[in-house]
Structure 1
Amino acid sequence: MSIPFWVAGKPVTGEATAVVRNSYDGTEAGLHGIPSTSDVEAAVLAAHEARAGTAALPAHVRAAALDHVSRRITERAGELAALITAESAKPVKWARVEVGRAASTFRWAAEEARRFSGELQRLDTDPGGTGRLALVRRVPKGPVLGITPFNFPLNLVAHKVAPAIAVGAPIVLKPAPATPLTALALGEILAETGLPAGSWSVLPVGNDVAAGLVDDPRLPVVSFTGSVPVGWRIRDSVPRKHVALELGGNAAVVVCPDWTDLDFAAERIATFAMYQAGQSCISVQRVYAHTAVFEELAERVVAKVRALGTGDPRSPHTDVGPLIDTAAAERVESWVDEAVAAGARRYTGGRRDGATVEPTVLAHVPEDARVLADEVFGPVVCLNPVGSTAEALRLVNDSRFGLQAGVFTRDLPTAFEASAALDVGGVVVGDVPSFRADQMPYGGVKDSGVGREGPAAAMADLTEQRVTVLTGLPG
């Protein structure tokens, strides 16, 4: 039976269908309808026509809808986690974490919707402003086109949809073709809220349709999460639109000589280099460890990586599953082989079986090797020794990416030095860069993107200031 898509809040089956399969064993995850050209037009037109009514929704209505979604995600947690695993081959243990985070993302957006108030500014600081007061509010820039990737098919969808609802902006969501089923299930929950027709649509269309949506002037805001080349092409193609980009990275860790708990550092590095088969923008990819701790750290990282459970992502004992498809696994395998041929030492892993790549640890990797310089997006971590913390910080910055970095130190001046020196969107002290609290501002610099996610930050990004000046007021 074909799963419907959502046009202006209504389920539509459509005539054409597509099958979604699990990359681990090829089993069918689901069959969904594909929107036609007229379906896409109907969704965009409805968003355009709903913009004023959606913006006028009282805060309590927006917040109640978001609270409902958060609650229903929690109630359907087991079902949604199984669906994430079925379509993305993400190990179910990590799918359950994602579902919990998505519920929190909607809950945070509900709380932010209630306090999204604007500010008063006195104008009598100059004689000409005597008797005047400015009310500065934020209003939606207009309907949003949200484009999401395959690696977090629920929570990254939540980071597009929840802030849009919170500010009263209609949203047309295009989920990744590889993993649309979870977004369609979220549509079932959104349909329970009674939000206005046109305020949201979920269109599982191919990437070839995305260009037309990006170009459509009725969608003045584009919020994209995905690959670096595609993201910047979008921004270059519509310079007069507001475009937010959350792109890739080659997240780095610095391990300073004062850090003594190497077992903790090794466990965090091993876990978050390999979780989701490395298919996370802030998966640990580069580790720069001081020579005083390098050998012991490397030994511990290798041991912990080898202890990770691999195999069927539906098993609760699996830590590392397959990549999204065989082509991705073949690319990762080739990059590892290139690095080894260029002089890198392979401590463990590197072999491929279909879409699965063994968790891989490399050391002494040349800085120009693609597995270090580019985004590997696979279960690979590179360990390189450095002679000083200053050298490590320089190497972290010697990258076209700048999403997040982790610094293992207990020295406060070193922590603040790293925070000031590292050209990234976020610095995590005492842990890996893979830490993300969904309420905090999240995003990168350089090729890693522009703009910030997190409900409050995204709400500011989706809106613009509108000033009302009140005149003739008593002092």
Structure 2
Amino acid sequence: MSNVVEVLNPFDLEKIGSVEVKSWNDINVMLNVAHGLHRDRGTWLPAYRRIEVLKNTARIMSGRAEDLAMLIASEGGKPLIDARIEVTRAIDGVELCIHEICQMAGREIPMDLTAAGSGRIAFTQREPIGVVVAASAFNHPLNLIVHQVAPAVATGCPVLVKPALDTPLSCEAFVDILYEAGLPKEWCHLTICQNDVAERMITDARVGFFSFIGSARVGWMLRSKLAPGTRCALEHGGAAPVIIDETADIDAMIPLLTKGGFYHSGQVCVSVQRVFAPSGMVETVARKLAEAASALKVGDARDASVECGPLIRPGEVDRVEQWVDEAVAGGARVMTGGKRLGRTTYAPTILLNPPADASVSTSEIFGPVVCVYEYDDLSAAYEAANALPFAFQASVFTKSLDTAMHAVRYLDATAVMVNDHTAFRVDWMPFAGRHQSGYNTGGIGYTMHDMTQDKMAVIRL
């Protein structure tokens, strides 16, 4: 008999729902069905059917936007004000998939460039890559699922989706909406399962593409075990750096850094984590950030006035507490916070000059902590910013065009924001980590490209 996992609200740890956990036998059947669909080209869904399903999906989601937002807040602890934005982004993501279907075209390949190719014409088409298995993270429980599943639907790939066990209800709701919108159930399978079963599913030879959002340790391990021929995209975390120079407008940057650092209590892969400020400005920057952080309301994410919700599990509060205590013992100054507020919440925290070898300086915090460091030479700030084995997004605050362009060139990041926080994103831009932070590129259009492959026809006239 299948097990059942209870889903808890991360603030009060009360049960809000339950989901059935699938066994390997269940998932093996799903893989067979999905693989059979892809192998039988006569069953492929034409573009107009996929567009119709996605249009209906966006319409249904729009009509249930508030319910979806409350579900995100309830199971994931994301403040309702931000959960509503996540729902809007998710709907936009579905609609973006429709737009990208229209761009999913091949091209003509010139053949008469040499005598050997003369007398032929050639063109390419994009075909679905095969069965997609998508494993997702807890921190955006609806929008991440949309970014992984909707592109699979849009490209005509059968998909098996595994949400985080902490936040499966939003995924379940989205899959049910796809069915309601007209997607035949065999094209999308909800595979809530334990880690050992998930690994067996992901590494199965019937999988054509593996999409993973989560920890680097797990992602790279799974990539090393993929079956030959399985393509993949991995999205992990970072410890996003911010460079401030002497010309920067401090008052203008504080609200941006506060949002970028404490959005979803810092549980975002590109959260502001390491802020480097000139020694003559560092006290002012840290103090003003502390004032803004201390004014944030912490509590139950379902309360529309709350700005920082709980961490996803009590164990994460324990970990953040240990990391901050370690930094303070090493000489960091607590400008605000530095303490847990309860079993499930931690105070928004600003640390000034933590040791370079402290966990808060070398690893992704994934909690409500921002570190501020002083520097005397801008090149030393770049060196510190680039010192870690992972890199994602970064930012620079300056009024100098020279400094801005220097930062764009010298910061080791896939995207450098000028006069904005590191967590900025729109869903049609490329979104990816470098080094240990990821593999391949996210973003709706980029994901759809990865889920398809070229086929060329060469016609001899």
CA contact (8 A) 2:93 2:427 kept: yes
CA contact (8 A) 2:179 2:185 kept: no
**2:2, 2:224 → 1: CA distance?**
34
- Cα shift readout 1:275-297 (whole Å, capped 9, x = no counterpart): 11111101111101123432222
Provide the residue aligned with 1:21 in structure 2. 8
Match of 2:286 among 294, 298, 320: 298
- Cα shift readout 1:403-444 (whole Å, capped 9, x = no counterpart): 111111233332222222222221111101100101111011
Residues 308 and 221 of structure 1, relative CA distance in 2, 3 Å threshold: same
How do residues 297-336 of structure 1 correspond to structure 2 at under 5 angstroms?
Answer: 297-336=285-324
Match of 1:402 among 367, 373, 391: 391
**1:362 lines up with 2:351 in the alignment:** yes
**Distance apart, 1:197 and its partner CA:** 4.1
**1:413, 1:54 → 2: CA distance?**
57
**1:134, 1:415 → 2: CA distance?**
45
How high is the TM-score relative to the length of structure 2?
A: 0.96
Query: What runs of 5+ residues in structure 1 fail to find an aligned partner?
Result: 1-13
**1:348 lines up with 2:348 in the alignment:** no
CA contact (8 A) 2:60 2:181 kept: no
Provide the residue aligned with 2:21 in structure 1. 34
**2:245, 2:87 → 1: CA distance?**
34
CA contact (8 A) 1:105 1:159 kept: yes
The secondary structure found in structure 2 opposite 1:245 is strand
**Distance apart, 1:385 and its partner CA:** 1.3
**Distance apart, 1:55 and its partner CA:** 7.9
Residues 55 and 341 of structure 1, relative CA distance in 2, 3 Å threshold: farther
CA contact (8 A) 1:402 1:444 kept: yes
- Cα shift readout 1:246-299 (whole Å, capped 9, x = no counterpart): 001111111122212x12211111122111111110111110112343222222
**2:73, 2:318 → 1: CA distance?**
21
**1:411 lines up with 2:391 in the alignment:** no
Q: Which deviates the most, 195-204 or 98-107? A: 195-204
**1:37, 1:43 → 2: CA distance?**
10
CA contact (8 A) 2:204 2:226 kept: no
The secondary structure found in structure 1 opposite 2:431 is coil
**Distance apart, 1:57 and its partner CA:** 2.4
**1:137, 1:407 → 2: CA distance?**
41
**Distance apart, 1:238 and its partner CA:** 1.8
Provide the residue aligned with 2:130 in structure 1. 142
How do residues 59-458 of structure 1 correspond to structure 2 at under 5 angstroms?
Answer: 59-238=47-226, 240=228, 241-260=230-249, 262-352=250-340, 353-458=342-447
Query: What runs of 5+ residues in structure 2 fail to find an aligned partner?
Result: none
**2:291, 2:242 → 1: CA distance?**
18
- Cα shift readout 1:129-183 (whole Å, capped 9, x = no counterpart): 2232221222222101100011111001011011111111111000000100110
**Distance apart, 1:43 and its partner CA:** 1.4
**1:339, 1:16 → 2: CA distance?**
41
How high is the TM-score relative to the length of structure 1?
A: 0.93
CA contact (8 A) 1:50 1:197 kept: no
**2:56, 2:281 → 1: CA distance?**
49
**1:48 lines up with 2:35 in the alignment:** yes
**2:42, 2:351 → 1: CA distance?**
52
Provide the residue aligned with 1:10 in structure 2. none
CA contact (8 A) 2:238 2:437 kept: yes
Provide the residue aligned with 1:57 in structure 2. 45
RMSD over aligned CA atoms reads 1.6
CA contact (8 A) 1:396 1:422 kept: yes
Residues 283 and 327 of structure 1, relative CA distance in 2, 3 Å threshold: same
The secondary structure found in structure 2 opposite 1:117 is coil
| Structure 2 residue identity aligned to 1:304 | A
Shift >3 Å, 4+ stretches = 52-56
**Distance apart, 1:196 and its partner CA:** 3.5
CA contact (8 A) 1:50 1:196 kept: no
Aligned length: 458
Residues 55 and 388 of structure 1, relative CA distance in 2, 3 Å threshold: farther
| Structure 2 residue identity aligned to 1:40 | I
User: Sequence identity of aligned pairs in percent?
Assistant: 38
